[in-house]
Structures are given as structure tokens and as C-alpha cells.
């Protein structure tokens, strides 16, 4: 864990952001303390504290004096909105760049996305009629 | 108790014609775990010996908690230096050693020591000189941690300890320090292993300070730039390049000193940026293929290390 190239505190903050995004950490749920982080991952508490300070600044978590850190209400929605904004630049654009490099037509990429989306849609909402549900 | 602060001012130590420390100045923040890194013969042990009043400075000063430690009972009562040898009574059983420490060290916690001995699987009825090298080192670690001195200096204490014992030591040190914050200096070669424990880092080389800063800031100083060779060269032009590799038309340069808009500029030029670990940074800064002059030129300037 935490072997990436980003500074450790950035990785810790990212992990908590992802947990909030996925719902693994719910609003008003208590987050591990800097001390727990430090002893669990064998890191200096100052590093963990730096990650938490960043998350407090962003309004993802908030501090209850003497109790600990908690996920802020609305943190998930806020993170989602931010990630949505950067989604096209960070995720879609590199896909197109790769496709261009490999000589894959944009239409092929779009067709693939459609196909996968339909598939995922069927898996999430199984069609009650038997012929559509057959794979 | 948050631990002693240490101020090092223009400290020079000579052994005959050998200059072990050459006019060095830096601070150790109280209550912080600082890594003291340097190659063999860089002056680490000499500095720790002066701070612990085992040795006198040739010139300059070390102030521990604001005072000269030399023959200073108050400051020495709060300073604990553990060297590779363990600094214990070698020919007395460990239980006797613990009793001795209990008498001499007001902050020594015998229960903590006994718990640690168990964790590190050391038989307390044995004499230190009958232990294996790794276990003797481990006993030194027990003494260093359980003494809970406001200034705890651990000089390569992990030598001879195997990996599981070292990790047990790191865990114990961190847990104990969280409960009882104090100033800890950890000198080590195993940078990769200890770097996450460190809040501050001092790098010594040939008796001089190469860098003294918080670990995160230091780590952010190193940057690798990878991409088409000419784009890399344009990007790093005018900057301090400590390493450059080329593979076909792709090149990777390691530079010291990052600039705020590096990320945007790299993206625009189709280059990939990477971080340089503390260990690699250390190797780049202290490995001197050429003469001593290049080593001195490698010192981080104040702007770079900020």
C-alpha cells in the first residue's frame, strides 16, 4: 500500500476521497485517526496529519474537537461534482490520444463504449422478458 | 515533555588532520523524529557524540535544550545515545542492566522495556555479550526506546537486526513516540525502510550539511523528466541535472528543484514527470563520481531546499 509516486500524504488523502466516493465511508462516519494511520501504515503521524489538513480544507472531513475526524455531510456529492468536471480531461482525452496513436477510429471507440454501457445496463437492470435476458 | 531542541552552530570537529565535521549548522526541532543520513565517514557519529557530550567540539557549538551539554548534568540526564555497540553493561544479565537503568534514568520505563524484550524475543536472563549480534543491537533498541529521554539519539542501532526485528523496532518506536513525544534522531543507511518514519531529514556528506529540511519538502525537490530526448533537454535546460539516461530517442533526466508550473509545462511538451524517492535523491546528492568540488556544488541552495 502507498507505493505510488505521489507524496505519501497525497496518496492517503486520495484513498480517503475514494472511500468517500465509493460510499465505503458514509457522511458523519468517523475516519481513522492520524495516530491509527501512523501505527497501521508505519508512517510519521505528521504525514497523516498533512493529508487530513488537506481534506479539512477541502471540506471532505471535519474535526470534532477531542473526538476525531468525520466525513462531512455532502462530501460525496462534492467530490463527485469535482471528479465529473475533470473526468473528460483526465480519462476520456487520454483514451482518444491512445486511439489516435494506434490508428483506431473514433467510431470504433464510441461503438465499444455503447456496447459496454448496454451490457452494464442489462446487468444492473435485468430485463424481465426471458429472450432479452439470455446471454 | 516534548523533547529537547538542538541547535548546531558552526560546529567543527577534527581528529588530528582529519576534519570530521566542517563548520556545520542546522537545527533539530523538538518533539520530531529526524533522520540523520550520510555515507560512512560523513560525520554522523561524530555529531551524535558531540550532542551527547561524549566528545568535545574543536570549535563552534551544539546547544541541547538551550545549553552546552558538556558536563551538564541536567541536559545529559535527558539525553540518551545508543550506538551500534548498544552502550550497555555487556557482562551483566539484561535484568541487571534494566535495574541499573531504572536507578540512573528517571524517565526509564521498565515495563515498556520488558514488553519490548518480549516482542523482540530477547531472553532477559542472558548477558548482552552472549547474545547474537542482531539481538545485541535489538537490546540497544530496547534501551533507546524505553529510556524515553527527551533527546534520544539512535546511531545505526538496527545493524545486524533481521528484517522482522527491524520492522518490530520501527513499530515500537513509532507507537512509543506517539504516546511520549520526544526528540529522536535516527541515523541509518536503510533510507527506504525508515523514510516514512521521518518528519525531518539532515543529510551529511564529507563533514558538511547537504540538506536539512522536512522530509516531504526534500522529496519534492527531486524530479524525473521522461520523454523524447530533445523535449527533455529543452525542459531541463538551465536546471540542475544530476542524472541523465537515454534509451533510443527517449531520455530521462533527474533534476533537483521543482518549479510550480512544471506539471502543466510537462503535459504541454508531452513529457512525463516522476518523483524521486528519498533514497535515490540521497544517492544522487552524495554519490560523487568526480572530484570533491562537485560534491560541494551539489549542496542544496536555500531556495532549492525550501
pLDDT tens digits, one per residue of B252-264: 998 887 777 888 8
pLDDT band at B295 (very low <50, low <70, confident <90, very high): very low
Cα–Cα distance for residue pair A119/B247, rounded to 1 Å: 43
Name the least confident of B29-43, B154-168, B257-271: B257-271
Asked if A98 is an interface residue toward chain B (Cβ–Cβ < 8 A), one would say no
Q: Is there a single domain that holds both residue A109 and residue A65?
A: no
Asked if A39 is an interface residue toward chain B (Cβ–Cβ < 8 A), one would say yes
Q: Can you give the pLDDT at residue B218?
A: 86
> Domain with A23 in it: what CATH number?
1.10.10.10
Residue B212 lies in a domain: no
Residue B210 lies in a domain: no
Instruction: Please answer yes or no on whether B178 and A50 come within 8 Å at the CB atom.
Output: no
**Cβ distance B178 to A39 under 8 Å?**
yes
For residue B178, give the nearest of A90, A24, A36, A59 by alpha carbon: A36
Give the B-side interface with A, CB within 8 Å.
32-33, 167, 170-171, 174-175, 178, 196-199, 215-216, 219-220, 274-275
Sign of CA pseudo-dihedral B38, B42, B47, B49: positive
For B7-20, write each residue's pLDDT tens digit.
999 999 999 999 99
Which residue from A6, A8, A50 is facing B196, i.e. has the nearest CB? A8
**Cβ distance B143 to B87 under 8 Å?**
yes
Give B186→chain A minimum CA distance, Å.
13
Q: How many CB pairs under 8 A join A and B?
A: 40
DSSP string, B116-155: HHHHTT--TTS-GGGS-HHHHHHHHHHHHHHT--SEEEEE
pLDDT band at B243 (very low <50, low <70, confident <90, very high): confident
For residue B198, give the nearest of B40, B42, B32, B84 by alpha carbon: B32
Q: The domain containing residue B159 runs over which residues?
A: 6-205
Q: Is there a single domain that holds both residue A57 and residue A100?
A: no
Instruction: Please answer yes or no on whether B216 and A42 come within 8 Å at the CB atom.
Output: no
Q: Is there a single domain that holds both residue B78 and residue B198?
A: yes
Cα–Cα distance for residue pair B12/B133, rounded to 1 Å: 33
Residue A131 lies in a domain: no
Q: Can you give the pLDDT at residue B277?
A: 80
Name the least confident of A27-41, B13-27, B71-85, B262-276: B262-276
Give the pLDDT mean for B188-217.
Answer: 90
Instruction: Please answer yes or no on whether B196 and A44 come within 8 Å at the CB atom.
Output: yes
Give B194→chain A minimum CA distance, Å.
9
Residue A18 lies in a domain: yes
Burial class (CB in 10 A: 0-12, 13-18, 19+), B199: buried
Eight-class DSSP state of B300:
P
Q: Which residue in chain B is spatially nearest to A36 when comparing CA positions?
A: B175
Last residue of a domain, one of B150, B177, B205: B205
Q: Is there a single domain that holds both residue B237 and residue B201?
A: no
Give the pLDDT mean for B161-188.
Answer: 94
Residue A43 lies in a domain: yes
Residue A44 lies in a domain: yes
Residue A13 lies in a domain: yes
Q: Is there a single domain that holds both residue B164 and residue B120?
A: yes
Q: Is there a single domain that holds both residue A65 and residue A107?
A: no
Q: The domain containing residue A20 runs over which residues?
A: 8-73
Q: Is there a single domain that holds both residue A54 and residue A100?
A: no
Q: Can you give the pLDDT at residue B304?
A: 46
Eight-class DSSP state of A1:
-
Q: Which residue in chain B is spatially nearest to A47 when comparing CA positions?
A: B199
What parts of chain A have a pLDDT lower than 50? 1, 132-135
Q: Which residue in chain B is spatially nearest to A50 when comparing CA positions?
A: B216
> Domain with B157 in it: what CATH number?
3.40.50.300
Residue A133 lies in a domain: no
Q: Is there a single domain that holds both residue B19 and residue B86?
A: yes
The helix/strand/coil state of B36 is: strand
Instruction: Given the cut 0.85, state whether the ipTM is greater than it.
Output: no
Residue B31 lies in a domain: yes
Residue B51 lies in a domain: yes
Residue B165 lies in a domain: yes
Give B30→chain A minimum CA distance, Å.
14
> How many domains does chain B divide into?
2
Which range scores top for mean pLDDT: A16-25, B210-219, B262-271?
A: A16-25
Instruction: Please answer yes or no on whether B174 and A42 come within 8 Å at the CB atom.
Output: yes
Residue B1 lies in a domain: no
Q: Is there a single domain that holds both residue B182 and residue B240?
A: no
Q: Is there a single domain that holds both residue B68 and residue B189?
A: yes
Asked if A7 is an interface residue toward chain B (Cβ–Cβ < 8 A), one would say yes
Report the predicted TM-score, pTM, of the whole model to 2 decimal places: 0.81
Which helix or strand (DSSP H or E) is residue B202 part of? strand B200-205
> Domain with B251 in it: what CATH number?
3.30.70
Q: Can you give the three-state secondary structure of B245-295, one letter per residue?
A: EEECCEEEEEEECCCCCHHHHHHHCCCEEEECCHHHHHHHHHCCCCCHHHH
Eight-class DSSP state of B151:
E
Q: Is there a single domain that holds both residue B277 and residue B238?
A: yes
Q: Is there a single domain that holds both residue A56 and residue A109?
A: no
Contacts of A9 in chain B (CB under 8 A): 216
Q: Is there a single domain that holds both residue A45 and residue A68?
A: yes
Which residue from A5, A8, A45 is facing B178, i.e. has the nearest CB? A45
Last residue of a domain, one of B179, B205, B231: B205
**Cβ distance B86 to B37 under 8 Å?**
no
Residue B211 lies in a domain: no
CA neighbours closer than 13 Å in the CB half-sphere of residue B14:
7
Contacts of A50 in chain B (CB under 8 A): 216
Q: Is there a single domain that holds both residue A12 and residue A40?
A: yes
Q: Is there a single domain that holds both residue B86 and residue B191?
A: yes
Q: Is there a single domain that holds both residue B77 and residue B190?
A: yes
Q: Which of B2, B33, B164, B178 to mutate to test the interface with A (most CBs of A within 10 A)?
A: B178
CA neighbours closer than 13 Å in the CB half-sphere of residue A31:
28
Q: Is there a single domain that holds both residue A29 and residue A53?
A: yes
Residue B120 lies in a domain: yes
Q: Classify strands B183-187 and B240-247 as parallel, antiparallel or unpaired.
A: unpaired
The contacts found for B288-297 with CB under 8 angstroms, 24 or more apart, are B292/B206, B295/B205, B295/B206, B296/B208
Q: Is there a single domain that holds both residue B43 and residue B123?
A: yes
Cα–Cα distance for residue pair A12/A49, rounded to 1 Å: 10
Residue A78 lies in a domain: no
Q: Is there a single domain that holds both residue A94 and residue A65?
A: no
Q: Can you give the pLDDT at residue A128?
A: 56
Q: Can you give the pLDDT at residue A66?
A: 87
Asked if A45 is an interface residue toward chain B (Cβ–Cβ < 8 A), one would say yes
Last residue of a domain, one of A73, A94, A112: A73
Give the pLDDT mean for B64-83.
Answer: 95
Q: Is there a single domain that holds both residue B154 and residue B176?
A: yes
Q: Which residue in chain A is spatially nearest to B215 when comparing CA positions?
A: A47
Residue A80 lies in a domain: no
The helix/strand/coil state of A10 is: helix
Q: Is there a single domain that holds both residue B105 and residue B145?
A: yes
pLDDT band at B75 (very low <50, low <70, confident <90, very high): very high
CA neighbours closer than 13 Å in the CB half-sphere of residue B117:
21
> How many domains does chain A divide into?
2
Contacts of A44 in chain B (CB under 8 A): 33, 174, 196-199, 215
Amino acid at each position: 500500500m502507498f507505493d505510488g509516486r505521489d507524496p505519501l500524504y497525497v496518496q492517503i488523502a486520495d484513498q480517503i476521497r475514494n472511500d468517500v466516493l465509493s460510499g465505503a465511508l458514509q457522511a458523519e462516519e468517523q475516519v481513522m485517526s492520524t495516530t491509527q494511520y501512523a501505527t497501521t501504515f508505519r508512517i510519521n503521524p505528521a504525514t497523516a496529519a498533512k493529508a487530513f489538513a488537506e481534506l479539512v480544507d477541502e471540506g471532505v472531513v471535519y474535526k470534532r474537537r477531542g473526538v476525531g475526524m468525520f466525513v462531512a455531510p455532502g462530501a460525496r456529492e462534492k467530490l463527485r461534482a469535482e471528479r465529473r468536471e475533470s473526468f473528460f480531461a483526465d480519462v476520456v482525452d487520454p483514451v482518444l490520444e491512445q486511439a489516435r496513436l494506434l490508428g483506431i477510429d473514433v467510431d470504433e471507440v464510441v461503438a465499444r463504449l455503447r456496447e459496454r454501457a448496454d451490457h452494464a445496463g442489462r446487468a444492473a437492470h435485468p430485463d424481465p422478458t426471458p429472450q432479452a435476458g439470455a446471454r | 515533555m516534548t523533547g529537547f531542541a538542538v541547535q548546531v552552530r558552526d560546529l567543527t570537529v577534527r581528529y588530528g588532520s582529519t576534519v570530521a565535521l566542517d563548520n556545520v549548522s542546522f537545527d533539530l526541532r523538538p518533539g520530531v523524529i529526524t533522520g540523520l543520513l550520510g555515507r560512512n565517514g560523513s560525520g554522523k557519529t561524530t555529531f551524535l557524540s558531540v550532542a551527547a557530550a561524549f566528545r568535545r567540539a574543536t570549535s563552534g557549538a551544539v546547544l541541547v535544550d538551550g545549553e552546552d551539554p558538556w558536563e551538564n548534568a541536567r541536559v545529559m540526564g535527558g539525553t540518551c545515545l545508543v550506538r551500534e555497540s548498544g552502550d550497555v553493561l555487556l557482562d551483566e544479565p539484561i535484568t541487571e542492566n534494566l535495574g541499573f537503568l531504572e536507578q540512573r534514568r528517571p524517565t526509564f520505563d521498565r515495563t515498556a522495556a520488558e514488553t519490548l524484550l518480549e516482542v523482540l524475543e530477547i531472553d532477559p536472563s542472558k548477558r548482552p555479550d552472549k547474545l547474537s549480534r542482531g539481538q545485541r543491537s535489538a537490546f540497544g533498541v530496547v534501551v533507546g526506546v524505553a529510556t524515553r529521554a527527551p533527546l534520544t539519539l539512535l546511531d545505526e542501532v538496527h545493524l545486524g537486526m533481521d528484517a522482522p526485528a527491524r520492522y518490530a523496532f520501527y513499530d515500537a518506536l513509532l507507537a512509543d513516540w506517539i504516546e511520549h513525544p520526544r526528540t529522536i534522531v535516527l541515523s541509518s543507511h536503510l533510507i527506504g525502510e525508515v523514510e516514512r518514519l521521518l518528519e525531518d531529514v539532515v543529510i551529511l556528506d564529507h563533514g558538511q550539511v547537504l540538506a536539512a529540511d522536512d522530509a516531504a519538502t526534500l522529496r519534492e525537490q527531486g524530479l524525473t523528466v521522461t520523454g523524447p530526448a530533445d523535449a527533455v533537454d529543452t525542459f531541463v535546460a538551465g536546471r540542475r541535472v544530476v542524472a541523465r539516461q537515454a534509451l533510443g530517442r527517449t531520455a530521462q533526466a533527474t533534476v533537483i528543484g521543482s518549479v510550480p508550473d512544471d506539471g502543466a509545462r510537462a503535459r504541454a511538451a508531452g513529457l512525463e514527470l516522476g518523483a524521486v524517492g528519498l533514497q535515490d535523491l540521497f544517492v544522487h546528492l552524495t554519490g560523487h563520481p568526480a572530484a570533491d568540488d562537485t560534491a560541494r556544488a551539489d549542496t542544496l541552495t536555500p531556495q532549492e531546499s525550501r
